[in-house]
Amino acid sequence: MRKALRLRRLSRPRDDRYLFVPLDHSVSDGPVVPRDRWPDLISAVVVGGADAIIVHKGRIRTIDPRLLGGCALIVHLSAGTAHMADTNAKVLVGEVEEALRLGADAVSVHVNIGSDTEERQLADFGVVANACDAWNVPLVAMVYPRGPRIADTTDPALLAHVVNIAVDLGADIVKTNLALPVERMAEVVESCPIPVLVAGGPATPGTAGGPATGGSLVDYARASMAMGCAGLAVGRRVFTSPQPMSLVAELASVIHAEDPAELVPAMSGALS
């Protein structure tokens, strides 16, 4: 029951659809925004309508709790930097109990399937899943096909495998890449008994896993929802936007629409 209550807090309209804004990039890549802009960014994301923000445990201390309002808090427990010998490696840097003490509604972990350290990352996933079960805390798994043995990070069959790894190891929600062509994302979603979120992808159009050439992020959200996805987890394309509040509001209106399929134009050309 307690986990169910926390899960409901991750969707502000309680419709089991989700717009998460990860702001954990300061560990992997460097500062998200200058420190004087941090409160304004949080406020813009929350007022825009994000369902949850995702940050590392230490960053929570820089957030005025009054800024969060009805927005949920997810603590990310995995880390790795762009300066590591293996940039696909992830290690645990926090625990579920710590996250709870900090007021988290959920925790998240990151696993790269196909990386040289996949074995350790899967073991860490299992440790976190066990603790989440003991403490009744929702677990968001960010699981990607990423590493030297991965030829196509948007392959539908591979993504179906990836999201079901998250199911089998105990996740409540899974985030991964969007399949291409986008119509085949429906196969990935239909294979998976837990909500599937898609990553917002890099800021450069046409990059694997990100918005394809010619399509805006909002169009990308429409297409993803039409394929049965439960939402988006998009960070970089929000915090680098000149108008993050407006962008989040547009995305939230798509994700929480009564019938997402009605919002979708003919996207097969733009996103394939």
Return the SS3 of 44: helix
Indicate the helix (H) or strand (E) that contains 241.
none
Residues annotated catalytic, as ranges:
144, 175
Q: What is the DSSP letter of 4?
A: H
Concatenate the DSSP letters of all residues of 125-154 into one string.
Answer: HHHHHHHHHHHT--EEEEEEE-STT-S-TT
Residue with tokens 């960053």: 59
Give the whole-angstrom CA distance, residue 180 versus residue 173. 21
Quick one: how far is CA 124 from the chain centroid?
Answer: 18
C-alpha torsion 166→170→174→176, nearest 10? -20
Closest CA to 156 of 261, 272, 28: 272
